[in-house]
Amino acid sequence: MKVYALVGPSGTGKSHRAVLLANQYQIPLIVDDGLLIYAGKIMAGSSAKREESKMGAIRRALFFDEKQTEEVKKCLKKLNEDKILILGTSTGMVERIDERLELGGIDQYIDIKDISSAEEIEKALSVRNNEGKHVIPVPTIEVEQDFSGYLLHSLELFFKKDNQTVRHEKSIVRPRFSFYGNLSISNRVLVDLIEYLINKYPKITEFKKVKVEETNNQLFINLSLEIVYGIKIRKFIKEFKAALKEHLENNTGINVKEINIEVYSLKVRE
């Protein structure tokens, strides 16, 4: 299967452009915000836009839910198509979705800036930020039950395919999490999450410094640890870094960019 990825910041119009892009490249499958869409119909998954919090929406979009993931994977196997388009806010996000769905890697990346003008992106951002409107690239009949009370209106698109005019309908919704404003996670909460994981490792006997910085929605972490004498330090630190990265990303939805660990002491067991 050839895997395409459409990448762009939240609210820049990816879902709006996805159908036109899929038509241009003859891509029958779209993965968008936790849903698997096939020929304008929702085939599997659960929409991130149904979540009541932004964190819940992020986890849903990244397929952290095992049941959701397995449902989509089974459906993909059954459909047996040769092309798929993944939508995401970053290359890291689409690559993580590709990995979770076991698609075999991204073949072609497409930036929203390459298919939308600066004016179109600015307008899309304005609608998202000021009105909280989101696009789902399927007809209203596909989502009206799940979005009762949150469905705003539909949008019709017309384009040429095989010398015929094809109509495609999109749904405009205002998710529940749009009413809650922006999500912020305090530094104290992040430190508590790190300390919680540290306490699960008996080979870490003490820690001095836990420093967390968030830049451009990415985390940079510095730790100073005391560990048990006699273990293979390099191997242990590598494994702990991987576990810490997964722990934080799973619980916050924020990408961990860098983890620096200083071993300041070795504890000799009596």
Same domain? For 25 and 126 the reply is yes
Q: Which two tokens stand for residue 27?
A: 């891509």
Q: Of 180, 202, 226, which residue is a domain's last? A: 180
Count of other CB atoms within 10 angstroms of residue 178: 17
Same domain? For 48 and 101 the reply is yes
Same domain? For 175 and 205 the reply is no
Same domain? For 108 and 232 the reply is no
Interatomic CA distance for residues 86 and 110, integer angstroms:
10
Same domain? For 38 and 155 the reply is yes
pTM over 0.75: no
Query: What is the pLDDT tens value at each position of the chain, 270 positions in all?
Result: 999 999 988 778 787 788 778 888 889 999 988 889 887 787 888 877 666 677 777 888 899 889 999 999 999 999 999 999 999 889 999 999 999 999 999 999 999 888 888 877 776 666 555 545 554 454 443 444 444 434 334 444 444 455 554 444 444 444 544 434 445 567 888 888 899 999 999 999 999 888 898 876 678 999 999 999 999 999 999 999 999 988 887 777 677 889 999 999 998 876
Cβ neighbours of residue 249 under 8 Å, at least 6 residues apart? 255, 256
Same domain? For 71 and 140 the reply is yes
Q: What residue numbers bound the domain in which 9 lies?
A: 2-180
Cβ neighbours of residue 20 under 8 Å, at least 6 residues apart? 115, 157, 159
Tell me, what amino acid is at 170?
K
Asked whether 46 and 127 are in contact (CB, 8 A), the reply is no
Radius of gyration of the chain measured on its C-alpha atoms: 22
Per-residue pLDDT, 55: 77
CATH code, 224: 3.30.70.1350
Question: CB burial class (10 A; 0-12, 13-18, 19+) of residue 51?
Answer: buried
Q: Of 157, 180, 203, which residue is a domain's last? A: 180
